[in-house]
Chains A and B, each alone.
Chain A
C-alpha cells in the first residue's frame, strides 16, 4: 500500500499518467481490461492469497492483452518466476527486484523499456543464471568481455544500449554477439525479445 503510493508518485513525477491502481489480483485484471494501459506494474505478492497472485495476474494480462506490457516486481530473487514470465513471451515483459524502485532512474528506465516493447530482467537474476554450474560448461569458452555482453543481453539490453554501456560501436557489439551465439551453438535472433528468450533458455539448461 505504502509502496504502491510511492510508485504512483514516482511515475507521475517522471511524466507517466497513472490510470488506475488495484489492491488485489482480481481488481488488477478488471482494471487492466477496462483501461488497456501501456504498462502494468505488478507486485508478485498480492491479495487474496498473498503468494504469487500478482505473477499469475501478470501472465493473464500478457495472454489476454498482448499490447499491454507488464513489469513484475518481486520481493525475492526468484529466477523461477522470472523465467516463467519471460517464457510466456519476452516482448513487453520485465521482472525486477522490488528494491530497485529505490533506484528511481533504473526503475523509470525499466518501465519505459517494457512500454516500448522491450524486455527487462533484474541483474541479480541474470547473475544467478550466469553463475550456474554446468557440465563441460560452454560458457567457459567465452571471453570475459563476451560474458559481460551475454549478461547484458540477458537483462534485455539492445545493441545500442550495449554499445553505450561498453563504450564501443554497435558494429563491435554485433561482432561479440555473433561470436557468443556461435560458441553457444545458438541461432542468431533478429529481434531483441527473441534474443532474450534464446539466451535465457540456454542459461537455464542443465
Chain B
C-alpha cells in the first residue's frame, strides 16, 4: 500500500497517463486490457488483478489478468461462471463495488475456481459504460482480510477513468471477432455448397453418363436391356434435378428477392412443423440487406423452435416504425436456449450488428423463447 494520499494520487495519475499513451499508440485491445490490469495492481499494491466482461448469457469473460509474478493468478478465458458469493458475482448483481475478505468458508463453482487459483480475498469494482454495467475489475491477494477500508473507492475511481479506454478497446476487439466470424461463416457456407454439389448432383451426372454409355453400347444387340438402362437414367436425372432444386433453395430463397419479406415469411410459416401466427408483416419492399436479415432471423428462430424448444405455437411479429424494423419470433416452448458462439443465432447477431442493429435472445427456463432483432432501415441501398 502507498504511503500518503498525495503519493497515491501522483501514482494514479502516472498510471492513467501510461494507459492513455498506450491507447493512443497501440490499437491492440488485448494490450490495453493487460496494461489496465497491471496499472491497477501496481496502484493498489495488490498481488493480482483481473478484468472481466459480463456476458448476456450470465457468464463472464475474463479478458486479462496480472500478478506480481507476471502470469495471471486467475486464468483468462470465456464462459466463466458468474454466480454465488464471489466478489465479482456480487458486483454483477448489485452494480456496486463488493469485497470478500475470506474465501475459505464460501461455496460455489466460481468460489472453488477462485480458491483453486490460491486467492484468499478480493475486491471488485464495476465498470460502467454509458450507464450500462459492462464488467468488473477484481483485485486479489493470497491472504485473507488484507484490504484496508477505502480500497473499493480507490478501485472505483481508477476504473471510472479507464472505463472509456476499456470500452473502446473492447468494441474494437468485438468488431474484429465478429468480422472474422462473418468471414468464417461465409467460407463454411461455400464449403457446404461445394460438398453438396460434389457429392450430390455431380455424382449423379457422372453415373448418368456411364449409364447412357452402356445403353448406347447395347442399343443394337440388346434393345430391351438398353431401354431398362434409359429408364434408370431418367430416374437418376430426376433425382439430380430434385437435389439441385433443394440446394438452390437453401442457398437463397428466390421468392424473397422477387416478392419481399411478407410473401417469403408466409412461405416459411407454411413449411414450419407447427402453427405459426403472423402479425403485421409489412408488405412494402425494404432494402435487400434488411429483408435478408429479417428473413433469416425468422427462418433460424422457427428452426430452433421446432428442433430444440418443443414449441406448440410460434408468433412472428414484424413492425416498421421510426426508420426501424423490429422482428420478433416468440414460441411457447421449453426455453433455456442461449446465444452460443458458432450457433446460427450468433451468426445472425453478427449480421444484425454489421447492419447497425441488435439481436437479443430471451429464453428463461420453462417459459418460451423470444428472439428479437432491430435494424435501422437503410436508405439508398
| A170 is an interface residue with CB less than 8 A from chain B | no
| Contact of B245 with A128 in the complex, beta carbons under 8 Å | no
A 164-206 contacts with B by CB, 8 A: 204, 206
- Nearest residue (CB) in A for B264 is A80
A 40-79 contacts with B by CB, 8 A: 45, 51-52, 75-79
> Which A residues are CB-close (under 8 A) to B263?
80
Q: What is the distance, in angstroms, from A81's C-beta to the closest C-beta of chain B?
A: 7
Knowing A79-B270, A99-B245, the reply to whether A51 touches B237 (Cβ < 8 A) is: no
| Contact of A78 with B255 in the complex, beta carbons under 8 Å | yes
| A135 is an interface residue with CB less than 8 A from chain B | yes
| A102 is an interface residue with CB less than 8 A from chain B | yes
B 260-287 contacts with A by CB, 8 A: 263-264, 266-267, 269-278
Docked pose: A48 CA to B108 CA in angstroms: 67
Quick one: which of B242, B249, B273, B276 contacts A99, CB cutoff 8 A? B242
Quick one: which of B249, B258, B275 contacts A206, CB cutoff 8 A? B275
- Nearest residue (CB) in B for A45 is B254
- Nearest residue (CB) in B for A206 is B277
Total number of B residues with any Cβ neighbor in A under 8 Å: 28
> Which A residues are CB-close (under 8 A) to B273?
133
Q: What is the distance, in angstroms, from A194's C-beta to the closest C-beta of chain B?
A: 23
B 53-107 contacts with A by CB, 8 A: none
Q: What is the distance, in angstroms, from B302's C-beta to the closest C-beta of chain A?
A: 11
Q: What is the distance, in angstroms, from A199's C-beta to the closest C-beta of chain B?
A: 15
> Which A residues are CB-close (under 8 A) to B269?
132, 206
> Which A residues are CB-close (under 8 A) to B259?
52, 80
| Contact of B267 with A79 in the complex, beta carbons under 8 Å | yes
Docked pose: A79 CA to B268 CA in angstroms: 11
| Contact of B234 with A52 in the complex, beta carbons under 8 Å | no
Q: What is the distance, in angstroms, from A181's C-beta to the closest C-beta of chain B?
A: 22
Quick one: which of A80, A99, A131, A204 contacts B255, CB cutoff 8 A? A80
| A129 is an interface residue with CB less than 8 A from chain B | yes
Q: What is the distance, in angstroms, from A146's C-beta to the closest C-beta of chain B?
A: 21
| Contact of B255 with A76 in the complex, beta carbons under 8 Å | yes
Max chain B C-beta neighbours (<10 A), residue from A80, A133, A135: A133
Docked pose: A79 CA to B263 CA in angstroms: 10
| Contact of B270 with A99 in the complex, beta carbons under 8 Å | no
| A134 is an interface residue with CB less than 8 A from chain B | yes
| B313 is an interface residue with CB less than 8 A from chain A | yes
Docked pose: A131 CA to B269 CA in angstroms: 11
> Which B residues are CB-close (under 8 A) to A76?
245, 248-249, 254-255
A 126-141 contacts with B by CB, 8 A: 128-129, 131-135
| Contact of A51 with B258 in the complex, beta carbons under 8 Å | yes
> Which B residues are CB-close (under 8 A) to A75?
245, 248, 254
Docked pose: A25 CA to B219 CA in angstroms: 42
| B2 is an interface residue with CB less than 8 A from chain A | no
Knowing A76-B248, A128-B271, A133-B275, the reply to whether A102 touches B258 (Cβ < 8 A) is: no
Docked pose: A132 CA to B278 CA in angstroms: 14
Q: What is the distance, in angstroms, from B264's C-beta to the closest C-beta of chain A?
A: 8
| Contact of B255 with A206 in the complex, beta carbons under 8 Å | no
> Which B residues are CB-close (under 8 A) to A132?
269-271
Interface digits, B151-191 against A, CB 8 Å rule (1 contact, 0 not)? Answer: 00000000000000000000000000000000000000000
Docked pose: A80 CA to B257 CA in angstroms: 13
Quick one: which of B241, B254, B274, B277 contacts A78, CB cutoff 8 A? B254
| B343 is an interface residue with CB less than 8 A from chain A | no
Docked pose: A52 CA to B260 CA in angstroms: 12
Q: What is the distance, in angstroms, from B237's C-beta to the closest C-beta of chain A?
A: 7
| Contact of A128 with B254 in the complex, beta carbons under 8 Å | no
A 73-123 contacts with B by CB, 8 A: 75-81, 97, 99, 102
| B238 is an interface residue with CB less than 8 A from chain A | yes
| Contact of B234 with A102 in the complex, beta carbons under 8 Å | yes
> Which A residues are CB-close (under 8 A) to B270?
79, 128-129, 132, 204
> Which A residues are CB-close (under 8 A) to B248?
75-76
Quick one: which of A80, A102, A133, A134 contacts B237, CB cutoff 8 A? A102
- Nearest residue (CB) in A for B245 is A76
> Which A residues are CB-close (under 8 A) to B258?
51-52
Max chain A C-beta neighbours (<10 A), residue from B237, B238, B254: B254
Knowing A52-B259, A75-B248, A102-B237, the reply to whether A80 touches B267 (Cβ < 8 A) is: yes
Quick one: which of B264, B266, B274 contacts A133, CB cutoff 8 A? B274
> Which B residues are CB-close (under 8 A) to A78?
254-255, 267
Docked pose: A129 CA to B270 CA in angstroms: 7
> Top 5 nearest A-B pairs by Cβ distance?
A52-B258, A51-B258, A80-B263, A133-B275, A135-B275
12 contacts between A and B (CB under 8 A): A51-B254, A76-B248, A80-B259, A80-B264, A128-B271, A129-B270, A132-B269, A133-B274, A135-B313, A206-B275, A206-B276, A206-B277
Known contacts A79-B270, A99-B238, A99-B241, then 16 further A-B pairs from the complex at CB < 8 Å, ordered by chain A residue: A76-B245, A76-B254, A76-B255, A80-B255, A80-B263, A97-B245, A99-B245, A102-B238, A128-B270, A128-B271, A129-B270, A132-B270, A133-B273, A133-B276, A134-B275, A206-B278
Task: List residues of A whose CB falls within 8 A of some B CB.
Answer: 45, 51-52, 75-81, 97, 99, 102, 128-129, 131-135, 204, 206
